[in-house]
Amino acid sequence: MERETQFIGQSVAFQDAVERASQAATLDRPVLVIGERGTGKELIAERLHRLSARWDRPYVIMNCAAMPETLIESELFGHEAGAFTGATKTRAGRFEEADGGTLFLDELATMSMGAQERLLRAVEYGEVTRVGSSRPIRVDVRIVAATNEHLPALVDDNRFRADLLDRLSFEVITLPPLRAREGDIEVLATYFGQRMAAVLGWDEWPGFGPRALAAMEGHDWPGNVRELRNVIERAIYRWADPTRPVDALSFDPFASPWQPAVRKTQAKADAAPPAPAAPGDESAMATPAPPTGGAVSDLRAAVDAYERQILSDTMARCRFNQKVAAEALGLSYDQIRHALKKHGLNN
């Protein structure tokens, strides 16, 4: 699919962030964009460029996390021929490429302290010096940077330069996570669903069923909009009947009854040993009292609910094929039919 550049959402929190970016775009000052992964930091950075007076000049993107520490300075500032092994010819850096325009530094917090020092000089004085050269080059670049880290905390830990943070934080735009964008989950899901249905050649968009909508609203969305898009597109791709509302979601693409088992040595290392009882602590050695009738009832209800959830999730993963689901759960065909009937899942 093509690069997604639209802003989809109606929540106040999201609209406020977009409006703040629109206002900051007109000022020729550095901007920091903060947000969890998948919240749309790249889109905000592009908006800051497109709505600025530099819109027709270069827009250069550099992912700081994708660059080894030994190469990041060369990428940012360029190098002269023979500056290091493999530097066979002179190369301009990202600052020179973005001259007159905008340089977007993604994953800013991953930059080494040495690179931060040179970046500070470039931002402060508008000059860069190629690796292997002593002659500074004047550049006119607007910096937009993004991170999912809390930079003031990194300053306190001596992992980020305070003076660089001061220089870059003229404006800070913090994007809300999807779980805080009230009403936007269904709006976004419908948008992505309609697009995916068109890609698959469906005659019309059937919408989502109540179970899928409830699952969307109940999910925490740690991957935010990017995760939502993947979940929706995967659900539609797997849905067998385009005439019925899509009503099964798979949040974990790795979930499978045949997935590789975790190594026992790793599992043992991850498991915390039980804390030893303190000397003379008789409560730690006491035998628990037998449950009352109410407790037994609560336990049975919890077990039934857990069993129902396992059946529901497995049926969804197996595309509601009872035979495949029975094999995945180690049950006979009659057993799974009985279990589905017991929990009202055989409709």
Give the pLDDT of residue 316.
Answer: 79
pLDDT, residue 325, reads 79
Question: 106-110, 275-279, 312-316: lowest mean pLDDT where?
Answer: 275-279
Interval 205-234 mean pLDDT: 96
User: CA nearest 329: which of 321, 271, 135?
Assistant: 321
What three-state secondary structure class fits 196? helix
Total of domains in the chain: 2
Q: Per-residue pLDDT averaged across 16-30, rounded? A: 96
Q: For tokens 């964008």, what's the residue?
A: 181
Query: Are residue 122 and residue 107 in the same domain, yes or no?
Result: yes
Return the structure tokens found at 77.
């500032």
H helix or E strand, kind and range, residue 197: helix 184-199
3-class secondary structure, 312 = helix
Tell me: do 172 and 227 sit in the same domain.
no
Residue 37 forms part of a structural domain: yes
Taking residue 141's Cβ as centre, other Cβ atoms within 10 Å add up to 23
β-bridge pairing 127-128 and 137-138: antiparallel
% helix, strand, coil for the chain, step of 5: 50, 10, 45
pLDDT value of position 1? 40
Q: Which of 35-39, 69-73, 131-135, 242-246 has the lowest mean pLDDT?
A: 69-73
For 86, the 3-state DSSP assignment is coil
Hey, what are 240's tokens?
């067998």
Instruction: Looking at the structure, tell me whether residues 26 and 135 fall in a common domain.
Output: yes
For the record, the structure tokens of 95 come out as: 């600052």
| Phi, psi angle pair for 323, to nearest 5° | -65, -45
Question: Quick one: 21 and 162 in the same domain?
Answer: yes
Residue 293, pLDDT score: 52
Q: How confident is the model at residue 108 (pLDDT cuts 50, 70, 90)?
A: very high
128 shares a domain with 70: yes
Q: What single letter denotes the amino acid at residue 334? A: D
Question: In which band, very low, low, confident or very high, does the pLDDT at 308 lie, cut at 50, 70 and 90?
Answer: confident
pLDDT at 295: 57
Which structural domain range is residue 213 located in? 179-238
**Residues 285-311, mean pLDDT to the nearest whole number:** 65
Amino acid 51: pLDDT: 97
Task: Give residue 164's Cα distance to chain centre.
Answer: 26
Q: What is the pLDDT of residue 279?
A: 44
Ranges 60-64, 99-103, 333-337: which has the least confidence: 333-337
CATH at 117: 3.40.50.300
Same domain for 171 and 183, yes or no, is: no
Average pLDDT over residues 196-208: 96
Residue 46 and residue 4 in contact, taking contact as beta carbons nearer than 8 Å:
no
Indicate if 234 and 134 belong to the same structural domain. Answer: no
Residue 74 has pLDDT above 60, yes or no: yes
| Pair 106, 154 in one domain | yes
User: pLDDT band for position 71 (50/70/90)?
Assistant: confident
Minimum mean pLDDT range among 10-19, 167-176, 323-332: 323-332
Nearest CA among 147, 144, 152 for reference residue 174: 147
What is the distance between the alpha carbons of residues 129 and 134, in angstroms, rounded to a whole number? 7
Assess whether 159 and 188 both reside in one domain: no
Same domain membership, residue 133 and residue 32:
yes
Question: Of 125, 157, 176, at which residue does a domain stop?
Answer: 176
Does position 284 have pLDDT exceeding 90, yes or no? Answer: no
Q: Tell me the per-residue pLDDT of 124-179, one tens digit each, with 9 for 90 and over.
A: 999 998 888 889 999 999 999 999 999 999 999 999 999 999 999 999 999 999 99
Count of Cβ atoms closer than 10 Å to residue 236 Cβ: 22
Q: What gap in Å lies between CA 265 and CA 256, rounded to an integer?
A: 22
Of 238, 253, 271, which residue sits at a domain end? 238
218, containing H or E segment: helix 210-218
pLDDT of residue 238 exceeding 90: yes
pLDDT at 150: 96
Contact 145, 168 (CB under 8 A): yes
264 falls within a domain: no
> Cβ-count burial of 208 within 10 angstroms (0-12 exposed, 13-18 middle, 19+ buried)?
buried
Q: Kindly state the average pLDDT of the residues 194-211.
A: 96
Domain membership flag for residue 137:
yes
Share of the chain above pLDDT 90, in %: 59
pLDDT number for residue 281: 43
DSSP tag of 172: E
- Of 281, 313, 345, 83, which Cα lies nearest the Cα of 215? 313
For 34, phi and psi rounded to 5 degrees? -115, 140
DSSP string, 225-251: HHHHHHHHHHHHHH-S-TTS-B----S
Q: For residues 213 and 290, which has the higher predicted lDDT (pLDDT)?
A: 213
Poorest-pLDDT segment among 50-64, 210-224, 255-269: 255-269
Single-letter code of the amino acid located at 22: S
**Per-residue pLDDT at 285:** 38
List the beta bridge partners of residue 143. Answer: 103
199 and 164 share a domain?
Answer: no
